[in-house]
């Protein structure tokens, strides 16, 4: 198969590329810089999302693409200045528009577009349980980005492409993503609940997320929004207890919400707010989670981390 990936050098994209090349799929990665691949199944194509009117990159594209994984997007971990918020929006929406224009002009019809998204689509709530059946208008900055991004992805359906809007939850991994930073206070003996601790964390182990991305691409009966979260969300205070236990560190120093808000500003909503989100579509389509509970997910993550340290 020929697979096209945007965001192929990022946290999720690089892991996905490793899996696909092991399966001997040809992976084409859109990259901002000139890069040469040392692997026969991985190919880099330079493009410039800052110049969306420049179509020269299309000349280097393959003549056939079976699936597109659209994972490109500026990091949410950097400070949310007005400039970076604009980059967060444009990096997602613009690239998706560029991909659609290429599909139109090249007269290529991929079987599926798996478009990254996020559970920030759903409003913050301490009591409501959300599934893919729930629909909402934009309600804050992140949801405005998500609705616009998903809206551009949906336009691929007009071209005969099956579209999956993969709404990522909190991705747990030993080396990348939020977990390494979240673990620092615990390792220093200063871990504990953040804010009220009542906010929901809808999380997913990186291996389950990658397996789900592969699963939705090959199951033609799946389309539309798909929540990529584990089936057992937890409140932050419960998450904190499991994390402290996995690290063998205390869990008693509570950080008030105002401190986090002062440090992070609008970005603090990623920590202090949350939603209870269920992966109903995955479960209804018989997807099997390797790590359905946080306890076994963290056990795997930190056991793997310890093994790497031992080998090193």
The answer to whether residue 301 is domain-embedded is no
Please give the radius of gyration of the chain, using alpha carbons only, rounded to the nearest integer.
20
Q: How far apart are CA 25 and CA 199, in angstroms?
A: 41
Q: How far apart are CA 157 and CA 28, in angstroms?
A: 22
Q: How far apart are CA 257 and CA 220, in angstroms?
A: 44
The answer to whether residue 216 is domain-embedded is yes
Task: Name the helix (H) or strand (E) containing 144.
Answer: helix 141-154
The pLDDT of residue 310 is above 90: no
The pLDDT of residue 311 is above 50: no
Q: Which are the contacts of 45, defined by CB distance < 8 A and separation ≥ 6?
A: 28, 29, 30, 31, 57, 60, 61
Q: What is the mean pLDDT of the chain?
A: 93
The answer to whether residue 307 is domain-embedded is no
The answer to whether residue 215 is domain-embedded is yes
Contact yes or no for 41/16 (Cβ under 8 A)? no
Task: State which residues form the domain around 28.
Answer: 2-170+203-231+276-290
Global pTM reads 0.93
Question: Which CATH number covers residue 25?
Answer: 3.40.50.720
The answer to whether residue 146 is domain-embedded is yes
The answer to whether residue 209 is domain-embedded is yes
pLDDT tier for residue 304 given thresholds of 50, 70 and 90: low
Q: Which of 182, 220, 218 is nearest to 302 (CA)?
A: 182
The answer to whether residue 48 is domain-embedded is yes
**166-218 tens-digit pLDDT:** 999 999 999 999 999 899 999 999 999 999 999 999 999 999 999 999 999 99
Q: How many independent structural domains does the chain possess? A: 1
The answer to whether residue 8 is domain-embedded is yes
Contact yes or no for 146/118 (Cβ under 8 A)? yes
Q: How far apart are CA 110 and CA 51, in angstroms?
A: 24
**Residue ranges with strand state E in 153-273:** 162-168, 170-172, 200-201, 203-205, 224-228, 234-235
**235-280 tens-digit pLDDT:** 999 999 999 999 999 999 999 999 988 888 888 888 899 999 999 9
């Amino acid at each position: 198969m020929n697979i096209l990936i945007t965001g192929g050098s990022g946290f999720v994209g690089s892991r996905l590329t490793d899996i696909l090349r092991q399966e001997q799929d040809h992976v084409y990665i859109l990259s901002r810089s000139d890069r040469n691949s040392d692997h026969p199944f991985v190919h880099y194509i330079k493009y410039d999302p800052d110049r969306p009117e420049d179509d020269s990159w299309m000349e280097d594209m393959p003549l056939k693409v079976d699936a597109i994984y659209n994972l490109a997007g500026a990091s949410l971990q950097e400070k949310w200045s007005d400039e970076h918020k604009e980059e967060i929006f444009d990096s997602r929406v613009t690239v998706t528009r560029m991909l659609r224009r290429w599909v139109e002009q090249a007269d290529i019809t991929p079987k599926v577009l798996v478009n990254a998204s996020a559970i920030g689509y759903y409003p913050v709530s301490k009591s409501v349980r959300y599934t893919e059946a729930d629909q909402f208008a934009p309600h804050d900055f992140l949801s405005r980005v998500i609705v616009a991004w998903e809206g551009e992805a949906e336009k691929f359906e007009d071209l005969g492409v099956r579209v999956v809007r993969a709404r990522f939850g909190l991705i747990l991994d030993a080396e990348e993503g939020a977990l390494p930073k979240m673990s620092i206070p615990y390792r220093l003996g200063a871990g504990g609940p953040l804010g009220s601790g009542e906010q929901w964390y809808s999380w997913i182990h990186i291996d389950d997320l990658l397996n789900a991305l592969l699963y939705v691409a090959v199951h033609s009966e799946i389309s539309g929004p798909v929540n990529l979260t584990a089936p057992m969300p937890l409140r932050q205070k419960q998450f904190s207890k499991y994390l402290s236990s996995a690290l063998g560190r205390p869990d008693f120093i509570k950080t008030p919400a105002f401190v986090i808000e002062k440090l992070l500003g609008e970005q603090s909503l990623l920590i202090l707010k949350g939603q209870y989100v269920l992966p109903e579509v995955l479960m209804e389509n018989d997807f099997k989670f390797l790590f359905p509970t946080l306890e076994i997910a963290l056990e795997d993550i930190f056991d793997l981390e310890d093994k790497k340290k031992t080998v090193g």
